[in-house]
Amino acid sequence: MRVICVLNLMLLAAATSAHATTIVPADLGELSRDAVAIARGRVADVQSQWTEDRGTVETIVTLEVEDYLKGSLGAMVRFRVPGGELGRYRTIVVGAPDFAVDQHVVVFLGAHGPTVPHIVGFNQGVFRVVRAADDSWVVSPPPAVAGAAAVRVVRGDPARRPVPLADFEQQVRTLAGAAR
Amino acid sequence: MMRRWFGRAIAIATVLAIQAQPAFAYLEFGVTAGGNQVKLKWPQAAVRYLVTNAGVANVSVADFQAAIGRAFGSWEAVPTASITYQFGGLTAAIPGRDDGLTTLGFQNRPDLDRVLAATSFVVDAATGALVESDIFFNSAFPWSVAPGGEANRFDLESIALHEIGHLSGLGHSALGETELRAGGGRLVTAAEAVMFPIAYAVGSIAGRTLKADDIAGISDLYPTGDATSVYGSLSGRVTKDGAPIFGAHVIAFDPVTQTVIGSFTLNAQGQFSIGAIPPGPRILRVEPLDDAEIDSFFDGSRTVDINFRVAFSDRIVIVPRGGDSGEVAINVVAK
């Protein structure tokens, strides 16, 4: 029985959630290949629930899909992320992405058997879509896209800017198509 | 990596400064408890942990216990940190269950693809103290405990060292570089912190050794009696066109030891603070986190400014023994 109340976990003086995992890195091509569906949409609902074995808590995110860049799982798609808040308790699986209603995202979804889909690559399979200063939609930060030659990723590179959503989608469609 | 970053800055930094001001933050976890923010750390002297009584191919339970024991030992060996860990025995408990036990073990989680291991924890709401923390290692991946590592297998001790840092209360460090491979894929080319979130490739054992950034973090969280007099701190503020920015990565480079320690601007005032660092001269580099999964560092609700160019402090900053550098102001410009 859980006896300890879990509160918001955040970085000191920063009011931000804690995240902590060790991941195997992926570039956009790998994510596009591995995903069974890639959806852009608005987060319509976020609900935490006990896992089937009632051992811990998971969160079911409902996405109101505006477009699929790969595959199709319906106009409203639900996917799960580990951890969540249930009653007075919050279970944190650090590294799991968190979502809030009305956020705009592109999610790369995977599935193992007849289950609720999950995000491919944990937090790597979530791209945040935000308004730029000129009110256009952009994906930020820009994705890591491998090309024909090895490229060292350099922080602060003037070329590394938020990507217009349309360009990002075109890129993903191309990569997903090439992976078929 | 560090000489390349800081070569130009060493040439232009000229002025020294010494002032005193207490450090207020490091890249550590914290909790809101009773309306107050407190550091997320273990209240007791020794953290007691259990090991799940189940091995995987190539790694027996005894191998697993020994490897994580070495990893715990590495953190315990930091002379300026007081945290210790105590093996409490084998258990049938599974990591990731909310059972009040701190458990480390394997689980087969193919749904958590690309997740080698993860830490979860439970916090005492009244005190903000860390009470339970579990670490699971994903048995969907091939693991090794060989002294020199094994081709095509991930080094358990390296990954355990990282996760135990989290279990102790440390967040991720951004002190690392990646490279996009020709034809697809991404790999870590250098990391100056065990707490960098992306794993080295299979076969590597480079992640078995704590770096200056890790040592500063654990020493700041669990300082020994003399740590505060041995170390100093560094603080400052980052602005862009005069406005403070959130989430700028700040790196303090020691030109004598060639080591680096990093942090972020973590509030609306664009302030940063790095505690428990050895005294001496530092050159500061500020860079945007434009190559990373922001979710690895900040929650999805935070707006992290990534639209600026790399900038350096215009002077060498002195970290005094037992004191603070005084505020270092760095202005960056948009890309």
Whether A9 and B308 lie within 8 Å, measured CB to CB: no
Q: Report percent pLDDT > 90 for chain B.
A: 62
Measure in Å the smallest separation between the Cα of B8 and chain A Cα atoms: 16
Kind of pairing between the strands at A104-110 and B243-244: unpaired
Measure in Å the smallest separation between the Cα of A96 and chain B Cα atoms: 8
Q: Is pLDDT of B15 > 70?
A: no
Whether B94 and A146 lie within 8 Å, measured CB to CB: no
Give the residue from B152, B138, B147 showing the smallest Cα distance to B104: B138
Query: What average pLDDT does the segment B32-42 reach?
Result: 74
Residue A103 in contact with residue A128, Cβ under 8 Å?
yes
Residue A84 in contact with residue A90, Cβ under 8 Å?
yes
B164 vs A: CB within 8 A: no
Q: Which chain B residue has the Cα nearest residue A124?
A: B293
Q: Which residues in chain A are closer than 8 Å to B296, comparing Cβ atoms?
A: 19, 21, 23, 95, 123
B181 vs A: CB within 8 A: yes
Burial grade of B148 (CB within 10 A; 0-12, 13-18, 19 or more): exposed
pLDDT in the model for residue B300 = 66
pLDDT in the model for residue B79 = 95
Q: Which chain B residue has the Cα nearest residue A116?
A: B111
Kind of pairing between the strands at B232-240 and B324-332: parallel
Two tokens at A172? 């993903």
Q: Residue A139: in which H helix or E strand, if any?
A: strand A137-139
Whether B125 and A16 lie within 8 Å, measured CB to CB: no
Q: Is pLDDT of B136 > 60?
A: yes
B308 vs A: CB within 8 A: yes
- Confidence at B8, pLDDT banded by 50, 70, 90: very low
pLDDT in the model for residue B171 = 86
CATH numbers and ranges of domains, chain B: 2-218 (3.40.390.10), 232-332 (2.60.40.10)
**CA B112, B157, A83 angle in degrees (round to 5)?**
30
B264 vs A: CB within 8 A: yes
Measure in Å the smallest separation between the Cα of B204 and chain A Cα atoms: 13
Average the pLDDT over each of A127-131, A160-164, B171-175, B178-182 and give the range with the smallest value.
Answer: B178-182
Q: Is pLDDT of B38 > 90?
A: no
Q: Which residues in chain A are closer than 8 Å to B178, comparing Cβ atoms?
A: 25, 144, 153
A56 closest CB neighbour out of B98, B115, B179:
B98
Whether B31 and A17 lie within 8 Å, measured CB to CB: no
- pLDDT, tens digit, 9 for 90 and up, residues B100-109: 899 999 998 8
Q: Is pLDDT of B255 > 80?
A: yes
B115 vs A: CB within 8 A: yes
pLDDT in the model for residue A22 = 73
ipTM above 0.95, yes or no: no
Average the pLDDT over each of B177-191, B233-247, B291-305 and give the range with the smallest value.
Answer: B291-305
Q: Report percent pLDDT > 70 for chain B.
A: 87
Q: Is pLDDT of A12 > 70?
A: no
Residue given tokens 């079911």 in the structure block: A60
Interface test with A, best of B24, B290, B302, B312 (most A CBs within 10 A): B290
B249 vs A: CB within 8 A: yes
pLDDT in the model for residue A16 = 28
- pLDDT, tens digit, 9 for 90 and up, residues B290-305: 986 787 787 666 788 8
Q: Which residues in chain B are closer than 8 Å to A25, comparing Cβ atoms?
A: 114, 178, 185-188, 198-199
